Amino acid sequence: MIHEISDLTLRRFPKYIYILRSMQRKGQEYTSASELSRFLDIHHTQIRKDLALTGVRGIPKRGHRVDSLLRACIEFLDWDNLTDACLVGVGNMGSALLNYEGFAQSGLQIVAAFDSDPEKIDKRINNIKVYPIEKLKDVIGILEVKIAILTTPAKNSQKLTNEMVAAGIQGIWNFTPKKLVVPENVVVENMDIYPALAALLGKVRNVNTINPNGPVEFDQE
Amino acid sequence: MIHEISDLTLRRFPKYIYILRSMQRKGQEYTSASELSRFLDIHHTQIRKDLALTGVRGIPKRGHRVDSLLRACIEFLDWDNLTDACLVGVGNMGSALLNYEGFAQSGLQIVAAFDSDPEKIDKRINNIKVYPIEKLKDVIGILEVKIAILTTPAKNSQKLTNEMVAAGIQGIWNFTPKKLVVPENVVVENMDIYPALAALLGKVRNVNTINPNGPVEFDQE
């Protein structure tokens, strides 16, 4: 039987991998869906169902071997095979992501970056070359990159998206708050970190404010 | 009249700031709720309502001045006043966040980091000192830090959370997939980037797979 893997299933597996890696580092030999459930916000029956998708079978009364379950989860997401990506916009966020060493163990490899700043062009960041933004289409075409990480300022980001899609990009990891318009066959994952930061800071300030009514006052007529 | 600012309102303002900053860089003088709406996934009536909270008034037929609206939005979130934070766990993600230069313009300043690795302790990353994890409580207490960014491996993260809360932490930005148990007066914002990456890679591979039924096969009996 062949199944399509749902979006929500794909999103849960990195969580299993994270917990299993930690158990492996600690030298833990066995685990179970119930134990994994205690560390995550996922019900154990859901975890059991997900783990069954990997084909790995538990051992009665002992559960799953941590190492073989971890291996099966990584294979399930195909994270051993790196997918090439490019990064567009080498500002603060872009530089941080270029220097981030955690993608390799999650199936992603950034092979090219783009910027419009002459100071940055032809430099290498973490050994990744920064190309001029004018070469976006050519480089994406030559390298046959299918994934783009978007970390540009708002200006031109739709225009750049159109160019990327025309060049063959099929998936965009959008770190900007901008709404991107793409054809139906192109996948966009939005990943804007600032709303969470604003909510966190706003709420903590609210708790601490001297004014018992909240941190921000304003007049409304 | 004094209003409590809702969580969703707090989350929308960083998006306005991002677009307005971009307009300001381009030298654009005026904008409107309708124009902002075209760049964001937010209805213009919602934007109009939000912007009214800042107290800034538009000019009939011209809309809002970009610079004064930007200023009002930054003041609304109080992003001019930096809130101190500490970072717990100087791995790949932790290092990337310590080196990230984008927080300062969003109200956050990391003033201390913690790790258990002797190689990292007492080093400085982007001028932020790494303290031994054993000093977590003391340093948080002395510096009166209220916000913690959690970037540890799964192991011990609940134990560390308990210590942080006991030391006075009121808000945790959780970059791990782990479910954190905290008292009611402590705010947790979860920010796990890997589920989005797994979904993006999974879906793009799905489009590209030679097998028309999907990228992952498995037997289920």
Quote the ipTM score.
Answer: 0.87
Q: Does B200 sit within 8 Å of A77, measured CB to CB?
A: no
Mean pLDDT value of segment B54-61: 89
CB B110 within 8 A of CB B96: no
Please state the domain extents for chain B: 7-77, 83-195
Please tell me chain B's helix, strand, coil percentages from 3-state DSSP, rounded to the nearest 5. 45, 20, 40
> What is this structure's pTM?
0.86
**Strand bridging mode A187-190 / A171-174:** parallel
Tens digits of residue pLDDT in B195-209 = 999 999 999 987 665
pLDDT at A208: 66
Is residue B214 pLDDT above 60, yes or no?
no
Mean pLDDT value of segment B55-60: 88
Chain B contact set for A178 (CB, 8 A): 18-19, 39-40
Please check whether residue B57 touches A, CB under 8 A: no
pLDDT at B154: 74
Chain B contact set for A189 (CB, 8 A): 196-197, 199-200
Q: Does B101 sit within 8 Å of A5, measured CB to CB?
A: no
Nearest-by-CA chain A residue for B219: A1
Q: Does B196 sit within 8 Å of A191, measured CB to CB?
A: yes
Chain B contact set for A10 (CB, 8 A): 195, 198-199, 202-203
Q: How far is B196 from chain A (nearest CA, A)?
A: 6
Q: Does B92 sit within 8 Å of A96, measured CB to CB?
A: no
Tens digits of residue pLDDT in A154-212 = 778 899 999 999 999 999 999 998 999 999 999 999 999 999 999 999 999 876 654 44
Q: Write the CA distances from B58 to B17, B43, B53, B69, integer angstroms.
A: 17, 18, 12, 9
CA neighbor of B150 nearest in space, from B89, B75, B219: B89
Q: Do domains A7-77 and A83-195 have the same CATH topology?
A: no
pLDDT at A3: 53
Chain B contact set for A57 (CB, 8 A): none
| CATH code that applies to domain A83-195 | 3.40.50.720
pLDDT at B146: 96
| Pairs of CB atoms within 8 A across A/B | 269
> Domain A7-77 falls in which CATH fold?
Arc Repressor Mutant, subunit A (1.10.10)
Query: Half-sphere exposure (CA, 13 Å, Cβ side) for A39?
Result: 25
pLDDT at A209: 58
Q: What percent of chain B has pLDDT over 70?
A: 91
Per-chain mean pLDDT for chain B: 90
* Band of pLDDT at residue B140, cut at 50, 70 and 90: very high
